[in-house]
């Protein structure tokens, strides 16, 4: 391989387990002499001993390490393999084929510029073929080669090959592939992989390797509008302020006018700095540092673009989401969302449907489980600059991160900004929260009572409200049961409903504090995430979490509404503490242990705590 | 309009690595660069200088010194850190040293665990590093092929291969819980040949042990071991002989085998690699102590 002229192609291989994917990858590594000789020697010995193919090299054995690990469930994972020809270096994302591994295929496809999709000539198009094709299309892969494998098993029949090719082309028409080739081959014998097949004289197209070597890599990336997510601000001293990042698309030249988004501030590119010397222009894929002619506010997370062909800026979007976590996606729950180099808080406001990945049909759904794909609307806590994924893969993807466990929970492709996000503006009102509160001579607060059913939340909250009322305070008590009779009448007790229940109540409480009230919220509110979401709606200090701590045994003994008994008899599903979890607060402002503190004393303690609190600035 | 440049595979690998290095510095509170003195580490330092130019790389180097490295490596380490202006932290497991842990007496397994894995954990804990950058590549070994670029470690520094975070596009998840940390591998997608081609293109200095020279070696179990100092126990009648050898990989001298070679320059090495393609870690004696040994060591916190 000539280091000065060869380039790099990342591709993904897919196909069902028996289509011969391992054999094909093994064959590619072998033919391009990418295998170390010591490995090769042991493979050849292995092959002679174990091969099911008399005399032939069994390339599937090369990836045997993988197969053994598969039993231990490690290889439900992407493995990356490397080979090179004189023209190109290749990185192959080798992903397992089964449906339960959708997330791994999506991971591998996210960085791939092309795909090799295997079809067994004896079997033709399968559901699996369709599923993989839909996922490839969704992830923006536009260059696809169909490897019609095991042609030796159908006697190199031109008719079989052409039927499969025609069927696939018809199926793939709506999927937006710009380069699509079909190659008849035998991975086992090596025909049409690297070397032309003598058996298929009728085939005049390229071999698989020729196709992989020839496809155009990223002229389209360079042809798209200029985008550079700012990764890091470089400030070695007061004389230099540069914005480091990798150009996601397009070309930037010295002297170009650029915008920083979402702010919209404008400046000119003064220098394109690299350690190898300044550049006159830089193209997609290069990691550079830009300095600007004027001092505008730019930081990590901002997106630089030209002033024409701007990216979208919005705080409400529609996106396709692939769920990657064992815990299901819950609409209403807040996640950390990473788009480009920016991380914001985002909430799934609405799950529109789940996608059937074999047909791309839309199914009704309330949550997304592991490996499900759905179309959702999301709202962010601040505006974000992005491009629709179909226009730009590097500025249109996002990952969702669980805010408590920090695990990567899902990934998505942004579709478009919601119209309401762009056209809905805040009305600035003349009378504000401060004035409303001042009129009542009080500080607005939220007292958020959480605890098991029967813990004594409502009893204590009721006593607190009486005391505050007697002190001349303006209060309102939102009680779980009462709100479920009205505002939240449509919600049940499944996890997704519980999340929405809390979201609505938190929003109502926020409106009430805006009106200047002291709001008491008495809700089981079993999940930490939603209590945190509620807390974050309020200014620091305004939200007071009161954990009414009663042991499950004791709450069950009291059972004031007879609900525990029902739940134990199986007449009531998803009951907190029985078959639905309660996540106790880790750092509540007040921790009321009802075993040692009577309700009256607890109420007194809470009122005292409120009186002693500092004013919210 | 001027013609647009074309990016070669080395340009692309370099750009990916710069992005990863910048990401660590932008997103992590207290990162460190693990410096093992080998060719991959030399490339990493070179990339770090490029990534943050004109600023100096805002992170220190950490070297885990087992006290059994080749003497030339230690000399190269100190000279390189000084020349490039890096802060260099060196850590040795003092308890292990006091116990006299020795690869010959205690075996490669115990020695590697105490002087490398435990030493690394001690150093990371002592400095409270939340991200440690290493030069490992996916083409080196099977378990590495599956590791993420941003690889999560528990508070005990353990790697759990079955629960790795999905890693999509270049949107790396750098969020951590209490005590957790990241191991980050900017050279994940480089192959050994890429590394040498880049060393050649960028004229990067590497330890001279990579190039063939007459060196005193003994032959044990088919492997050539260099007699770097008097601590190597010689069997009765065993005498070091001068042979023309070089190293493909560098580590602790008793555990790193040499190969006979005449490759005296980077260009020679690149040429040699294209003809004889032995796997690189074949010269690493610690990788052969039991099936899936790398994976086990990694789970325990080895790099």
Instruction: Let me know if residue A237 belongs to a domain.
Output: yes
- Pair (A297, A319) in one structural domain: no
Residue B274 has pLDDT above 80, yes or no: no
Which of A306, A331, A349 is a domain's end point? A306
Instruction: Let me know if residue A512 belongs to a domain.
Output: yes
- H or E stretch covering A385: strand A373-386
Q: What is the pLDDT of residues B16-38, one digit of tens each?
A: 999 999 999 999 999 999 999 99
Tokens of A249: 């698309």
- Pair (A301, A317) in one structural domain: no
- Pair (A209, A243) in one structural domain: no
Residues in A closer than 8 angstroms to B14, CB to CB, are: 287
Report the alpha-carbon distance of residue A146 to residue A140 in Å, rounded: 17
Q: What is the mean pLDDT of chain A?
A: 88
- Pair (A340, A293) in one structural domain: no
Residue A7 has pLDDT above 80, yes or no: yes
Residue of B nearest to A401 (CA): B173
Which of A285, A306, A327 is a domain's end point? A306
Question: What local confidence, expressed as pLDDT, does residue B34 receive?
Answer: 97
Residue A425 has pLDDT above 60, yes or no: no
Concatenate the DSSP letters of all residues of B90-128 into one string: EE--HHHHHTT--HHHHHHHHHHIIIIIIHHHHHHHHHT
Q: Do A7 and B177 touch (CB under 8 A)?
A: no
Domain that holds residue A595: 433-612
Instruction: Let me know if residue A389 belongs to a domain.
Output: yes
Mean pLDDT of A402-407: 92
Cβ contact B148:B20 at 8 Å: no
- Pair (A301, A382) in one structural domain: no
Cβ contact A423:A558 at 8 Å: no
Q: Do B173 and A394 touch (CB under 8 A)?
A: no
Instruction: Let me know if residue A146 belongs to a domain.
Output: yes
Residues in B closer than 8 angstroms to A139, CB to CB, are: none
Q: What is the pLDDT of residues A297-346, one digit of tens each?
A: 999 999 999 988 899 999 999 999 999 999 999 888 889 999 999 999 99
Cβ contact A400:A319 at 8 Å: no
Residue A108 has pLDDT above 80, yes or no: yes
Cβ contact B63:B87 at 8 Å: no
Instruction: Let me know if residue A66 belongs to a domain.
Output: yes
Q: What is the pLDDT of residues A362-388, one digit of tens each?
A: 899 889 999 899 999 999 999 999 999
Alpha carbon B175 to chain centroid, angstroms: 25
A116/A72: higher pLDDT: A116
Q: What is the pLDDT of residues B192-249, one digit of tens each?
A: 999 999 999 999 999 999 999 999 999 988 889 999 988 888 888 889 999 999 999 9
Could you say which of A4, A37, A283 has the minimum Cβ distance to residue B4?
A: A283
- Pair (A288, A318) in one structural domain: no
Instruction: Let me know if residue A188 belongs to a domain.
Output: yes
Mean pLDDT of B285-299: 60
Residue B2 has pLDDT above 70, yes or no: no
- Pair (A243, A164) in one structural domain: no
Cβ contact A371:A102 at 8 Å: yes
Q: Please report, rounded to a whole number, the percentage of residues in chain A having pLDDT higher than 90.
A: 58
- Pair (A326, A370) in one structural domain: yes
Q: Do B15 and A6 touch (CB under 8 A)?
A: no
- Using the structure block, give the residue that is written with the tokens 């980077």: B266
Q: Do A275 and B53 touch (CB under 8 A)?
A: yes
Q: What is the pLDDT of residues B124-139, one digit of tens each?
A: 999 999 999 999 999 8
B13/B276: higher pLDDT: B13
Name B146's Cβ contacts closer than 8 Å, sequence gap at least 6.
A74, A75, A77, A78, A79, B161, B164
Question: What local confidence, expressed as pLDDT, does residue B291 receive?
Answer: 42
- Other beta carbons within 10 angstroms of residue A593's beta carbon come to 12
- Other beta carbons within 10 angstroms of residue A122's beta carbon come to 12
Domain count, chain A: 4
3-state helix, strand, coil in chain A (%, to 5): 30, 30, 40
Alpha carbon A67 to chain centroid, angstroms: 29
Least confident of A231-245, A250-264, A409-423, B104-118: A409-423
Gyration radius of chain B over CA positions = 19
Instruction: Let me know if residue A617 belongs to a domain.
Output: no
Q: Do B161 and A74 touch (CB under 8 A)?
A: yes
pLDDT grade, residue A30 (50/70/90)? Answer: confident
Concatenate the DSSP letters of all residues of A192-225 into one string: TTTB--SS-TT--S--HHHHHHHS--SHHHHHSP
Q: What is the pLDDT of residues A174-199, one digit of tens each?
A: 888 989 999 999 998 999 999 998 88
Could you say which of B8, B53, B280 has the minimum Cβ distance to residue A7?
A: B8
- Residues of A recognised as catalytic: 525
pLDDT grade, residue A46 (50/70/90)? Answer: low
Residue A292 has pLDDT above 70, yes or no: yes
- Pair (A166, A149) in one structural domain: yes
Question: What local confidence, expressed as pLDDT, does residue B203 receive?
Answer: 96
Distance from CA of A107 to the nearest CA of B (A): 5
Q: Do B2 and A33 touch (CB under 8 A)?
A: no
pLDDT grade, residue A614 (50/70/90)? Answer: low
Which of A214, A244, A278 is a domain's end point? A214
Residue A66 has pLDDT above 60, yes or no: no
Residue of B nearest to A102 (CA): B166
How far CA B116 is from CA of A391, B40, B303, in Å, comes to 48, 18, 9
Could you say which of A78, A406, A408 has the minimum Cβ distance to residue B176?
A: A406
Q: For chain A, how many residues are written?
A: 617
The CATH number given to whatever domain includes residue A511 is: 3.40.50.300
Tokens of B107: 């075996």
Instruction: Let me know if residue A427 belongs to a domain.
Output: no
A332/A35: higher pLDDT: A332
Tokens of B78: 């100190």
Residues in A closer than 8 angstroms to B165, CB to CB, are: 407-408
Residues in A closer than 8 angstroms to B25, CB to CB, are: 232
- Of A586, A443, A457, residue with least CA distance to A527: A586
- Pair (A180, A95) in one structural domain: yes
Q: Do A244 and B22 touch (CB under 8 A)?
A: yes
Mean pLDDT of A38-54: 64
How far CA A69 is from CA of A29, A74, A414, A552, B69, in Å, comes to 20, 6, 35, 43, 34
- Pair (A473, A556) in one structural domain: yes
Report the alpha-carbon distance of residue A23 to residue A31 in Å, rounded: 12
- Pair (A363, A298) in one structural domain: no
pLDDT grade, residue A242 (50/70/90)? Answer: very high
Residue of A nearest to B282 (CA): A38
Q: Do B169 and A104 touch (CB under 8 A)?
A: no
Tokens of B59: 């992170």
β-bridge partners, B152: B182
Residue B288 has pLDDT above 70, yes or no: no
Q: Is the pTM of this model over 0.90?
A: no
Choose from B18, B50, B141, B166 for mutation: most chain A CBs within 10 A: B166
Residues in B closer than 8 angstroms to A236, CB to CB, are: 54-56
pLDDT grade, residue A38 (50/70/90)? Answer: low
The CATH number given to whatever domain includes residue A283 is: 2.40.30.10
Question: What local confidence, expressed as pLDDT, does residue A102 receive?
Answer: 80
Instruction: State ipTM.
Output: 0.91
């Amino acid at each position: 391989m000539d280091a000065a002229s060869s380039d790099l192609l990342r591709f993904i291989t897919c196909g069902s387990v028996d289509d011969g994917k391992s054999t094909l990858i093994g064959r590619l590594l072998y033919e391009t002499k990418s295998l170390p000789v010591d490995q090769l020697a042991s493979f050849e010995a292995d092959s002679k001993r174990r091969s099911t193919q008399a005399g032939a090299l069994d390339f599937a054995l090369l990836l045997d390490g993988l197969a053994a690990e598969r039993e231990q469930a490690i290889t439900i994972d992407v493995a990356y393999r490397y080979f090179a020809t004189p023209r190109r270096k290749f990185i192959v994302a080798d992903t397992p084929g089964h449906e339960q591994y959708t997330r791994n295929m999506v991971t591998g496809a996210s960085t791939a510029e092309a795909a090799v999709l295997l079809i067994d000539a004896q079997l033709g198009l399968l559901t699996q073929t369709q599923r993989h094709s839909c996922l490839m299309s969704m992830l923006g892969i536009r260059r696809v080669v169909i490897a019609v494998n095991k042609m030796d098993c159908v006697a190199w029949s031109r008719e079989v090959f052409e039927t499969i090719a025609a069927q696939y082309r018809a199926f793939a028409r709506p999927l937006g592939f710009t380069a699509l080739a079909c190659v008849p081959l035998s991975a086992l014998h090596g025909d049409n992989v690297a070397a032309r097949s003598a058996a298929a004289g009728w085939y005049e197209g390229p071999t698989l390797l020729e196709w992989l070597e020839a496809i155009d890599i990223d002229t389209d990336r360079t042809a798209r509008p200029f985008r550079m997510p700012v990764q890091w601000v470089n400030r070695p001293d007061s004389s230099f302020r540069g914005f480091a990042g990798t150009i996601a698309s397009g070309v930037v030249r010295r002297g170009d006018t650029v915008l920083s988004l979402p702010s919209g501030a404008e400046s000119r590119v003064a220098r394109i700095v690299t350690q190898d010397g300044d550049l006159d222009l830089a193209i997609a894929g290069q990691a550079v540092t830009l300095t600007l002619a004027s001092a505008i506010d730019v930081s990590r997370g901002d997106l630089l673009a030209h002033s024409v062909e701007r990216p979208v800026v919005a705080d409400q979007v529609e996106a396709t989401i692939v769920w990657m976590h064992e815990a299901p996606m819950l609409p209403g729950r807040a996640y950390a969302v990473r788009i480009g180099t920016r991380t914001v808080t985002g909430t799934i406001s609405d799950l529109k449907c789940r996608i059937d990945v074999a047909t791309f049909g839309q199914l009704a759904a309330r949550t997304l489980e592991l490996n499900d794909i759905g179309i959702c609307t999301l709202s962010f806590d601040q505006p974000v600059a992005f491009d629709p994924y179909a226009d730009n893969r590097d500025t249109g993807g996002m990952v969702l991160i669980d805010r408590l466990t920090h695990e990567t929970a899902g990934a998505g492709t942004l579709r478009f900004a919601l119209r309401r996000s762009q056209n809905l503006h805040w009305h600035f009102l003349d009378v504000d929260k401060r004035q409303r509160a001042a009129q009542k001579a009080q500080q607005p607060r939220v007292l958020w009572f959480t605890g098991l059913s029967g813990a004594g939340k409502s009893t204590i909250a009721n006593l607190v409200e009486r005391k505050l009322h007697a002190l001349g305070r303006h209060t309102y008590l939102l009680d779980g049961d009462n709100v479920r009779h009205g505002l939240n009448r449509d919600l049940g007790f499944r996890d997704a409903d519980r999340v929405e229940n809390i979201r609505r109540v938190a929003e109502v409480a926020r409106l009430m504090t805006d009106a200047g009230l002291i709001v008491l919220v008495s809700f089981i509110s079993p999940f930490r995430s939603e209590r945190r979401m509620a807390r974050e709606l309020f200014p620091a200090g305004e939200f007071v979490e009161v954990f009414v701590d009663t042991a499950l045994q004791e709450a069950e003994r009291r059972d004031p509404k007879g609900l525990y008994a029902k739940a134990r008899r199986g007449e009531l599903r998803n009951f907190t503490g029985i078959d639905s979890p309660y996540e106790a607060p880790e750092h509540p402002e007040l921790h009321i242990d009802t075993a040692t503190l009577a309700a009256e004393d607890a109420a007194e303690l809470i009122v005292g705590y409120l009186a002693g609190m500092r004013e919210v600035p | 309009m001027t013609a647009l440049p074309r990016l070669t595979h080395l340009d692309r690998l370099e750009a990916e690595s710069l992005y990863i290095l910048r990401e660590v510095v932008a997103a992590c509170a207290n990162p460190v660069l693990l410096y093992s003195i080998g060719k991959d580490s030399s490339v990493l330092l070179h990339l770090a200088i490029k990534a943050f130019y004109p600023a100096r790389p805002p992170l220190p180097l950490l070297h885990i010194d087992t006290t059994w490295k080749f003497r030339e490596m230690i000399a190269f380490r100190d000279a390189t850190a000084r020349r490039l202006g890096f802060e260099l932290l060196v850590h040795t497991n003092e308890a292990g040293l006091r116990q006299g842990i020795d690869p010959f007496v205690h075996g490669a397994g115990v020695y590697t665990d105490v002087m490398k894995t435990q030493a690394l954990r001690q150093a990371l804990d002592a400095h409270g590093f939340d991200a440690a950058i290493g030069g490992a590549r996916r083409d080196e070994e099977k378990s590495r092929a599956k590791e993420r670029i941003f690889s999560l470690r528990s508070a005990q520094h353990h790697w759990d291969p079955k629960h790795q975070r999905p890693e999509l596009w270049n949107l790396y998840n750098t969020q951590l819980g209490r005590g957790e940390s990241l191991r980050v591998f900017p050279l994940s997608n480089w192959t050994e040949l890429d590394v040498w081609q880049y060393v050649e293109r960028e004229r990067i200095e590497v330890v001279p042990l990579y190039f063939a020279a007459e060196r005193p070696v003994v032959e044990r179990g088919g492997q050539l071991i260099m007699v770097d100092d008097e601590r190597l126990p010689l069997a009765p009648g065993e005498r070091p002989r001068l042979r023309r050898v070089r190293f493909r990989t560098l580590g602790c001298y008793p555990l790193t085998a040499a190969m006979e070679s005449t490759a005296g320059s980077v260009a020679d090495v690149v040429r040699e690699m294209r003809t004889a393609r032995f796997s690189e870690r074949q010269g690493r004696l610690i990788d052969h102590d039991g099936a899936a040994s790398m994976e086990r060591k990694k789970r325990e916190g080895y790099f």
